[in-house]
Amino acid sequence: MPAAQGVSLPLPPTAGSMSLEEALAHRRSACEFALGALTLDEISRLVWAAQGFTAPEGRTAPSPGATYPLEVYVVAGNVGDLAAGVYCYRPVPHRLELVTDGDIRVPLADAAVGQTWISRAAMVVVIAAVFERTTAHYGKRGERYVYVEAGHAAQNLLLQATALGLGARPVGAFNELGISHLLRLPGGEVPLYLVPVGRVPRF
């Protein structure tokens, strides 16, 4: 894909101001978001937490047999220095590649059984999977492993959002075909999880 159709992300730091224990204690599911935009630095940390590399052969989330069935997409609507659109996260070289441009947060919320609050998030992370990468090694049981891995990735993302002072919430209720069409997912990829992320209101 041409360089003009993507963006390289700043390298995420491996130390922060909030401990893991604090992030666990403060993590809450949020469905109210403020209007402020997210930054590329925050996006970088969030997608890295979900599926980034921590070593040449290791990622932030464990994967059965290192089969790595997950694909992470960013539906950007209000992100500084990033045009609205759908992007696929490439852990190497830590980059977002444009899939399609335009703000699709409203139709995405419609496809999530009309959960309109999703459209107010600055962006939505979509975790999808190619089951065959894992079932080719583990057979039918591999399907279970893929779902478990998606849970690992989503929790990492939620804790990172908490550490950044952002609101986030996992969503499992949606029309798979509708989401696949909106994101133009390749054949064989299945959406498993939506995680809207945004700034939290200050009262």
Q: What is d(CA 72, CA 63) in angstroms, rounded to the nearest whole number?
A: 14
Residue 30 exposure: Cα atoms within 13 Å on the Cβ side = 24
State how far the alpha carbon of 85 is from the alpha carbons of 101, 124, 145, 153, 184, in Å: 4, 11, 30, 22, 12
Comparing CA positions, the residue from 20, 78, 50 lying closest to residue 149 is 50
Fold of 21-198: NADH Oxidase (3.40.109)
Domain assignments of the chain as residue spans, ordered by start: 21-198
> Helix, strand, or coil here: 121?
coil
Could you say which residues of the chain have pLDDT below 50? 1-4
Q: What is the pLDDT of residues 7-36, one digit of tens each?
A: 999 998 888 888 888 888 888 988 899 999
> Distance between CA atoms of 174 and 113, rounded to whole angstroms?
6
| The pLDDT value given to residue 3 | 39
pTM, full prediction? 0.94
